């Protein structure tokens, strides 16, 4: 996961909440919910990366994901109203909304087998809004993902982040960047150090680097590998 710093909630969403505040059906399922403007703003905050997988996404290739599942939002609101309290409407709360791969599947359409669509109503233990999300998952230059803590292990399982297709995509990007033993145009150690020092999290015109956190970890592994090669070469030359 890449840490996401959310800006102020989207203007159309604010207007929607204001216009529909007395509507008993106020919520994400309301036909007037401004999906496209909200998705566009979420993509802006996320640098055009999926909040969970770090794949490059756009308006046509993602859906609005609820970190706190919609089923829990509705259930909690019902309990509140049944007890005479105002509902929280967390299903339209800005902090609870993310843009995630894939796009909403059509009937009979093949699902990728990983990502937000896998979790259904399962709660996640690691949030993209928590800065530690960048440190609890570990990646290798072959695209594999492991966890540093149990909460990350559970999140990997829930989202199926070890799926072979996703692993292959991460490895392909690492190769393309030049941080893989079989990269066609490998980075110099200085270039890898520059990426590791901070370039991996820079916002480019097209957004953040795809699989940026995996690139960070691959850079560290790559640098150690190159330094070991230099050391062995020096020893052999003695």
CA 144 to chain centre: 16
Range from 26-35, 101-110, 158-167 carrying the lowest mean pLDDT = 101-110
Q: Mark whether 144 and 226 lie in a shared domain.
A: yes
Supply the DSSP symbol for 126.
Answer: -
Q: Mark whether 158 and 204 lie in a shared domain.
A: yes
Q: Identify the burial level of 11 via C-beta atoms within 10 angstroms of its C-beta, where 0-12 means exposed, 13-18 middle and 19 or more buried.
A: exposed
Domain count, the chain: 2
Query: Which one of 121, 152, 169 terminates a domain?
Result: 121
Q: Mark whether 67 and 146 lie in a shared domain.
A: no
pLDDT at 97: 97
Q: Mark whether 101 and 145 lie in a shared domain.
A: no
pLDDT at 230: 63
Phi first, then psi, for residue 172 (nearest 5°) are -60, -40
Q: What percent of the chain has pLDDT over 70?
A: 96
Give the confidence band of 50 by pLDDT, cuts at 50, 70, 90: very high
Tens-place pLDDT, residues 54-66: 999 999 999 999 9
When pLDDT is averaged across residues 9-20 and rounded to a whole number, the result is 92
**Structural domain range at position 215:** 135-238
Q: Mark whether 8 and 100 lie in a shared domain.
A: yes
Measuring CA to CA, how many Å separate 26 from each of 21, 46, 52, 88? 7, 26, 27, 11
pLDDT at 106: 78
Give the confidence band of 135 by pLDDT, cuts at 50, 70, 90: very high
Of 169, 22, 150, 38, give the one whose Cα is nearest residue 93: 38
Is residue 224 in some structural domain? yes
| Residue 206: count of CB within 10 angstroms of its CB | 11
pLDDT at 145: 97
Query: Which one of 121, 150, 176 terminates a domain?
Result: 121
Q: Mark whether 85 and 163 lie in a shared domain.
A: no
The predicted model scores a pTM of 0.91
Q: Mark whether 2 and 53 lie in a shared domain.
A: yes
- For β-strands 137-139 and 145-147, DSSP reports them as antiparallel
Residue 191 has pLDDT above 90, yes or no: yes
pLDDT at 228: 77
Measuring CA to CA, how many Å separate 210 from each of 48, 64, 82, 177, 206? 9, 19, 45, 10, 10
Give the confidence band of 234 by pLDDT, cuts at 50, 70, 90: low
């Amino acid at each position: 996961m890449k840490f996401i710093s959310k800006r102020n909630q989207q203007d159309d969403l604010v207007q929607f909440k204001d216009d529909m505040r007395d509507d008993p059906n106020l919520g994400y399922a309301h036909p007037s919910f401004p999906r496209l403007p909200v998705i566009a703003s979420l993509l802006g905050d996320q640098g055009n990366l999926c909040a969970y997988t770090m794949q490059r996404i756009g308006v046509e290739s993602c859906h609005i994901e609820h970190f706190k599942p919609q089923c829990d939002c509705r259930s909690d609101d019902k309990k509140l109203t049944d007890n005479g309290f105002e509902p929280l409407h967390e299903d339209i709360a800005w902090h609870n909304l993310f843009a995630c791969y894939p796009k909403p599947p059509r009937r009979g359409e093949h699902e990728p087998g990983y990502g937000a669509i896998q979790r259904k109503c399962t709660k996640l233990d690691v949030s993209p809004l928590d800065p530690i999300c960048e440190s609890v998952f570990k990646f290798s230059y072959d695209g594999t993902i492991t966890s540093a803590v149990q909460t990350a292990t559970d999140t990997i399982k829930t989202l199926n982040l070890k799926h072979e297709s996703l692993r292959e995509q991460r490895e392909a990007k690492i190769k393309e960047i030049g941080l893989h033993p079989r990269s066609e145009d490998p980075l110099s150690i200085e270039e890898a150090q520059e990426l590791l020092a901070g370039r991996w999290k820079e916002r480019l015109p097209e957004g953040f680097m795809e699989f940026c956190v995996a690139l960070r970890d691959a850079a560290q592994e790559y640098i150690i590998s190159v330094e070991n090669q230099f050391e062995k070469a020096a020893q052999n030359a003695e």
